[in-house]
Amino acid sequence: MALQLGDVAPDFTSESTEGTIHFYDYLGDGWGVLFSHPKDFTPVCTTELGEVARLKGEFDKRNTKVLGLSVDPIESHRSWVGDIKDATGNELNYPLLADPDRTVADLYGMIHPNANDTLTVRSVFVIGPDKKVKLTITYPASTGRNFQEILRVLDSLQLTSGYSVATPVNWTEGEDVIIVPAISDEDAKEKFPKGFRAVKPYLRYTPQPNR
Ligand code: BEZ
């Protein structure tokens, strides 16, 4: 059965471009984004890995470790790294896991046999400090991901883990958020001193509480 939201993210040990990674130890008390790509020396993957390198500082700000993965061997990863820098201008600055025996790919259900028997699809797993899966996304090989969206989701996940709020459609950091329906108006007045406006009894907006 595929990993679902709320499941414990499996721990593993894997070779990577930054040496041996013990997953839980590597994540420490922070957040993690584990993402797979289908194959080294392919065009879309090259752009994705370069973009994640460019955004590394944004993930750091969110106390989030990023790790890429494919079933290609470590020697292949090592020789591809130079191409990523040449093609995108960004040096790989996070671990790229080598999973030739598919240990991690199988643990996380990253191979979808009806799409491709042997290669990982473009999976994304966001893992919380409690080591539970907070988000899963799957893209086909033909579509590069939007990593700004992963940052946006991290902002939402980190905010909503600390406050009784949810984030509306297309929300980005700094915009008003929604008070969850389980909170009564009376409690909302106490919990959200900046106030709230009710568009419907169940749709109440309040300024982002942690700013
Ligand atoms: C790519 O990254 O460009 C790619 C990889 C596998 C299949 C199709 C495209």
Count of C-beta atoms within a 10 Å radius of residue 109: 16
For the stretch 190-203, pLDDT in tens is 999 999 999 999 99
Mean pLDDT, the chain, rounded, equals 98
Report pLDDT for 42. 98
Q: How confident is the model at residue 167 (pLDDT cuts 50, 70, 90)?
A: very high
Q: Is the pLDDT of residue 155 over 90?
A: yes
Distance between CA atoms of residues 98 and 77, nearest Å: 7
Q: What is the pTM (predicted TM-score) of this model?
A: 0.97
Substitution candidate for ligand 1 out of 35, 39, 49 with most atoms within 8 A of CB:
39
Domain ranges of the chain: 13-143, 162-206
CB hemisphere CA count around 26 (13 angstroms) = 24
Q: How confident is the model at residue 114 (pLDDT cuts 50, 70, 90)?
A: very high
Atom of ligand 1 nearest to the CA of 119: 6
Residue ranges around ligand 1 (CB below 6 Å) = 38-39, 42-45, 141-142
Q: Is the pLDDT of residue 108 over 80?
A: yes
Q: Is the pLDDT of residue 64 over 90?
A: yes
- Give the distance (Å) from ligand 1 centre to CA of residue 181: 43
Instruction: Provide the CATH topology of domain 13-143.
Output: Glutaredoxin (3.40.30)
Report pLDDT for 1. 77
- Give the distance (Å) from ligand 1 centre to CA of residue 132: 29
Q: For the domain bounded by 162-206, which CATH number is listed? A: 3.30.1020.10
Average of per-residue pLDDT across 141-156: 98
CB hemisphere CA count around 113 (13 angstroms) = 1
Q: Are strands 96-98 and 64-70 parallel, antiparallel or unpaired?
A: parallel
For the stretch 36-45, pLDDT in tens is 999 999 999 9
Substitution candidate for ligand 1 out of 142, 143, 145 with most atoms within 8 A of CB:
142
Report pLDDT for 128. 98
Average of per-residue pLDDT across 12-17: 98
**Residue 45: active-site member:** yes
Of the residues 45, 52, 133, 150, only one is catalytic, namely: 45
Q: Is the pLDDT of residue 131 over 90?
A: yes
Q: What's the CA dihedral at 136, 77, 119, 146 to 10 degrees?
A: 40
